[in-house]
């Protein structure tokens, strides 16, 4: 997708906010605890390479990604820190993982045996670092029972093709005020760990939510994700132990302003008809940019005023009702602060009936990312 550099719509990333969120989180950690910044999905829409550089400056010691290609992009950009691929990588890519010093998540003995064959075929002498994933209740990926985990551990002791670098799980309700399911998962984690006689370098269970509200479980590594971008993983249910500073701003400018006469309609389907004469502006951003079509009736900020989005949001444009006439080129804030007012990703998510993660990740590459201190 081409980046639309020649229009005024853009995402502005506050580097200082990301830096400070990481620094504040690191200050809470016990000595010897590593922080890996989670930069999957283009760093939650904030920009993979740029965020990785900020994270290193702030003291992150490694990275977590979702897919191998994200890890390779980091290596190609010159990052030498440890990288863990949290998703399952096909065993046929074992050599690529090992050669690039990228750690793999492993969830079955079969994967290890298949990967061994591919490592042999590629004549790779370097050991492949692996983190064994445990399913304690997330129900996504991971070893299902201590017995199956024991078989994999035994296999790892028989070969030098793999380095047992880590073991981990993922809590599904660490961001909830109800802690019963969290405790259930923690109990299962402890049952799994009874069969791990020789612990690896990294033992980790904490995503952002676990680290913020269950930090006694941190182990010696946390996977700092959405909190690094200044977003509360619980939405509004739980208050974070320090102020999270949102890093993403979405802004544009008016490109056309007109007086809409009473009785005239706006956009596809003519779903909005003016009841009286009103000033209307067109803003060059739409659902192809990830600004969702269902945000019709929501608002943006112009000169500190909340201005309703009228008519259906188009692929590339949307229309807003102004409180008065403004000139073409007036700043429009879709996410962020303006004249003491603000629109958060959480507010947009609430309107759409989803979570702020999805909104942030949904902004497409057509929107330029601009980085400011």
Binding residues for substrate: 140, 315
CA distance 293 to 315: 8
Tokens for 159, please give them: 């070969």
Strands (E), the chain: 10-14, 34-38, 62-65, 83-85, 103-106, 128-134, 162-169, 202-204, 221-224, 248-253, 256-260, 265-266, 272-273, 278-283, 299-302, 305-310, 318-322, 331-338, 341-343, 369-372
Other CB atoms within a 10 A radius of the CB of residue 28 amount to: 14
In contact, 266 and 272? CB cutoff 8 Å: yes
Q: Give 237's DSSP letter.
A: S
155 is catalytic: no
Distances (CA, A) of 68 to 85, 141, 149, 166, 271: 6, 16, 24, 17, 45
- Cβ neighbors of 180 (< 8 A, separation 6 or more) are none
Distances (CA, A) of 354 to 35, 112, 292: 28, 37, 12
Exactly one of 19, 40, 229, 287 is catalytic; which is it?
Answer: 40
CA distance 141 to 132: 10
> In a 10 Å sphere around its CB, with 0-12 CB exposed, 13-18 middle and 19+ buried, how is residue 351 labelled?
middle
Q: Would the CA dihedral through 110, 115, 160, 65 be positive or negative? A: negative
- 80-95 in b/e form (b: 16+ CB < 10 A) is ebbbbbbebbebebbb
Nearest to 284, CA basis, from 242, 246, 308, 255 = 255
Tokens for 155, please give them: 């296999």
Exactly one of 173, 201, 268, 351 is catalytic; which is it?
Answer: 268
187 is catalytic: no
In contact, 304 and 338? CB cutoff 8 Å: yes
* Residue positions forming the annotated binding site: 140, 315
The catalytic site residues sit at 40, 268
């Amino acid at each position: 997708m081409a980046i639309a550099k020649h229009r005024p719509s853009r995402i502005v990333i506050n580097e200082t906010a990301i830096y400070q969120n990481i620094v504040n989180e690191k200050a809470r950690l016990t000595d010897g605890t590593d922080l890996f910044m989670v930069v999957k999905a283009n760093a939650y829409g904030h920009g993979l390479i740029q965020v990785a550089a900020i994270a290193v400056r702030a003291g992150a010691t490694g990275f977590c990604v979702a897919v191998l290609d994200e890890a390779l992009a980091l290596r190609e950009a010159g990052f030498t820190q440890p990288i863990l691929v949290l998703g399952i990588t096909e065993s046929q890519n074992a050599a690529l993982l090992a050669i690039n010093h990228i750690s793999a998540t492993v969830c079955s003995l079969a994967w290890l045996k298949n990967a061994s064959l591919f490592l042999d075929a590629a004549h790779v002498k370097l050991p492949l670092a692996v983190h064994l994933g445990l399913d304690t209740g997330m129900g996504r990926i991971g070893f299902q029972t201590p017995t199956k985990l024991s078989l994999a551990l035994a296999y790892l002791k028989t070969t030098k093709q793999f380095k047992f670098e880590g073991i981990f799980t993922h809590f599904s309700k660490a961001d909830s005020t109800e802690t019963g399911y969290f405790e259930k998962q923690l109990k299962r984690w402890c049952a799994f760990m009874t069969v791990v006689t020789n612990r690896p370098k990294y033992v980790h269970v904490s995503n952002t939510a676990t680290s913020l509200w269950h930090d006694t479980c941190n182990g010696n590594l946390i996977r700092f994700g959405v909190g690094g971008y200044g977003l509360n993983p619980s939405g509004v249910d739980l208050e974070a132990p320090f102020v999270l500073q949102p890093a993403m701003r979405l802004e544009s400018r008016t490109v056309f302003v007109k007086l809409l006469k009473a009785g005239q309609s706006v956009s596809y389907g003519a779903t909005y008809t003016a009841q009286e004469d009103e000033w209307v502006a067109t803003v060059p951003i739409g659902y192809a940019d990830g600004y969702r079509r269902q945000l019709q009736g929501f608002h943006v900020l112009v000169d500190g005023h909340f201005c309703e989005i009228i008519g259906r949001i188009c692929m590339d444009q949307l229309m807003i009702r102004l409180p008065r006439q403004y000139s073409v080129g007036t700043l429009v804030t879709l996410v962020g602060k303006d004249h003491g007012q603000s629109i958060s990703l959480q507010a947009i998510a609430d309107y759409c009936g989803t979570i702020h993660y999805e909104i942030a990740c949904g902004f497409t590459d057509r929107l330029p990312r601009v980085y400011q201190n």
